[in-house]
Structure 1
């Protein structure tokens, strides 16, 4: 399924503590070069616990985690029913297939601008939500491992984001002008 270029924010989540799930909140403030204000993963340097131990001065390019409703629908078809935030995402989107977006794609979300930096490599913590979850989001396809657990991004322009806000995938030309 190709990614649409316009969508909507379904839910926003943050948690000052590590771990899953991230509670759904009314709004989040994305801070340029930092992350989601009040979220454990915000900061100048990488906050992922394993990566932070291994590379404590690595710049944080994993500032915000995005999933979309197609991921939740896929899991529901496997009898794993999740609400927004349960996979640890900060943003749950509708009408945009985040797993189809290449690294470097920029999205305007509410007032903010973000750039996809990597596909999320899911870990065993997901099994704390459902013991089948990690296996459900990791697939083998023609000898390659494919993940279906969201994408990580960095924040290029600060802004508030709320459910119902518009999401727009920028064209390459628009992104080059930023």
Structure 2
């Protein structure tokens, strides 16, 4: 069963987010108290390009399996250190299609909007980390540093909460890079 194993938040535009006992998701906003919470883009880079654009990066999720793989390569990464709000276990987030909805135990619902494009801050954090989360597959670059989502229904997310994955109608579209 897919579930949440860690939740993180940061009110600053820093690279790392910090562990919490729970996070509160706000409909059409994101994680309460997080620097990326808002209906329009909150990323400093994207805000300079178009401050009125919708925020498709309200919630960042990474699967523990990715963190484990990075640690096997010697990167010594823990949940939240790559900026994610939720660390999950038991579902391959990167293989899910665009507009997949994830329902959580206490009623919150998020919708997947894309794959996180890694930034150069990864290399500042750990030398070579950006390359480790960027793989070539079928002639394309595949990013392995999590998925982004928007909040469709408010609610509390606790460590251990189960996740119900609801796929969109066919035909499925791949998650774009954001």
Q: TM-score, normalized by length of structure 2?
A: 0.91
1:169 match: secondary structure:
strand
1:110 touches 1:159 (CA, 8 Å); kept in 2? no
Aligned residue in 2 for 1:97: 92
1:104 touches 1:117 (CA, 8 Å); kept in 2? yes
2:26 corresponds to which of 16, 27, 31: 31
TM-superposed deviation, 1:132? 1.5
TM-superposed deviation, 1:81? 1.9
Aligned residue in 1 for 2:61: 66
Aligned length: 168
- Does residue 127 (structure 1) correspond to residue 123 (structure 2)? The answer is yes
Question: 5+ residue gaps in structure 2?
Answer: 170-178
Taking the aligned partners of 1:171 and 1:117, their CA distance within structure 2 comes to 13
Measured against aligned partners, the alpha-carbon deviations of 1:112-171 in whole angstroms (never above 9, x if no partner) come to: 100000111010111222111101001112321110000000000000001011111014
Aligned residue in 2 for 1:176: none
Taking the aligned partners of 2:36 and 2:162, their CA distance within structure 1 comes to 24
Taking the aligned partners of 1:133 and 1:124, their CA distance within structure 2 comes to 9
Aligned residue in 1 for 2:176: none
Aligned residue in 2 for 1:166: 162
Taking the aligned partners of 1:110 and 1:29, their CA distance within structure 2 comes to 13
2:2 match: secondary structure:
strand
When structure 1 is superposed on structure 2, of 136-145 and 35-44 the one drifting more is 136-145
2:39 corresponds to which of 36, 44, 52: 44
2:62 touches 2:93 (CA, 8 Å); kept in 1? yes
Aligned residue in 2 for 1:3: none
Measured against aligned partners, the alpha-carbon deviations of 1:17-49 in whole angstroms (never above 9, x if no partner) come to: 012210011110000000000000001210011
Runs of 4+ in 1 over 4 A off after TM superposition: none
2:110 touches 2:153 (CA, 8 Å); kept in 1? yes
Question: 5+ residue gaps in structure 1?
Answer: 1-5, 174-178
Taking the aligned partners of 2:148 and 2:94, their CA distance within structure 1 comes to 10
1:116 touches 1:152 (CA, 8 Å); kept in 2? yes
Taking the aligned partners of 2:57 and 2:30, their CA distance within structure 1 comes to 8
1:19 corresponds to which of 14, 22, 27: 14
1:66 match: secondary structure:
strand
Q: TM-score, normalized by length of structure 1?
A: 0.91
